[in-house]
Amino acid sequence: MISIENDVRAIALAARDASRVVARASEEVRNRALLAMAEALRAHLPAILERNAVDMKAGEKAGMSAGMLDRLRLDEDRIDGMACALESLAQLPDPVGRVLEHRTMDDGMDLRRVSVPLGVVAMVYEARPNVTADAAGIALKSGNACVLRGGSQALHSNAAIVAALREAVVSAGLPADAVSFIDTPDRGATDALMRMRGIVDVLIPRGGAGLIRHCVEYATVPVIETGTGNCHVYVHETADFNRAISILLNAKTQRISVCNACESLLVDGAIAAEFLPQACKALAEAGVEIHGDAATRAAAQKAGVAGNFVDATDDDWGREYLALEISVKVVSGVEEAIDHINRYGTKHSECIVANEASVQGAAAIEEFLAGVDAAAVYANASTRFTDGGCFGLGAEIGISTQKLHVRGPFALEALTTYKYVVRGTGQVRP
């Protein structure tokens, strides 16, 4: 264990040295590095896919779920998407050196509050090799160095990606350790990284609830908590049924392995008898297993899809399935929907479907948007839009469900802090 701690410390110290070089690098140099990283991913495509195949085979043998295997899988399109994200980052405004505040003090001193990099950003994440490129790119664009700690299930994929990225960083004139990687499968390395206070400036865990909870509870390094996603779609009594089912299916089935996928459907009791059979049929036709209450059971039977229904337990209301499964509950109205979401939700993304053109529907929408405690709240749109790219932030490093220091999709600006720059002409304090 001491050896692992020493190894991790050495990696973190090298990243700290690199961070000081990156922080002083010009925007032009950092953008050149990003473009080189994108080119390197494409150039190393065969090697990355070969190493990913090793991880996929091991994952299948270990019985990884379909959702986790989907997160792990790389193909030519996904790698090109990673490269395109890096290229998009290079086109974004520089988050470093922005003057956030400027004023002249009473004694004539010039005071500016200026954005600066955080320093060393550590990422701990599970079997999502695309995060490796996203995190490295966002850290570099914002003037930081990163220490990446991916899950052991993606060890070979991540190592191949990092090798390509480090080669590219050096070609742009920056130190290779600006993109650092912990390549041991030993879990003790994660705990060691979390204790590198004074070397690592911020820790960002991205993965399942267990990983995030462990980091939040045991880290001595400041943590930005990315959240699991028990996201809800609430169908108000004024909702258009076709619109509601379209939003529901997109939110649930468009990609099941992501944190902004819908995991729970709430239906207004006033329309349950009419809407629920249609919703159950649509979900069943999409291959979704329904964990529902008694009213939903009756609706599934009426729709002829009882084979896709199981009785919900209390545990279902708070579950993030990451699978073709959903919990369904009938509620008495918008107030109960809000209470249920605030109790069981993970403060990620929540949606109401209602008729905004009616007085009742418009009032329900405003009550829902104001009353639900989540990073993103939607009226008549899929929860799948909670994403850095969709929000115009570029490649994201995660979705924060906490309230400090950032909330929702976060990317470049979230990896900067600020300092006060004061210029005087000889003033002394009386």
Express each pLDDT in 60-72 by its tens digit: 999 998 878 988 9
Helix, strand, coil content of the chain in percent (nearest 5): 50, 20, 30
Query: How many other CB atoms sit within 10 Å of the CB of residue 339?
Result: 13
Express each pLDDT in 367-410 by its tens digit: 999 999 999 999 999 999 999 889 988 777 889 998 888 999 98
Mean pLDDT value across the chain: 95
Express each pLDDT in 105-121 by its tens digit: 999 999 999 999 999 99
Rounded distance between C-alpha atoms, residue 277 and residue 266, angstroms: 14
Peptide bond into 236 cis (omega under 30): no
Rounded distance between C-alpha atoms, residue 264 and residue 262, angstroms: 6
Amino acid at 310: V
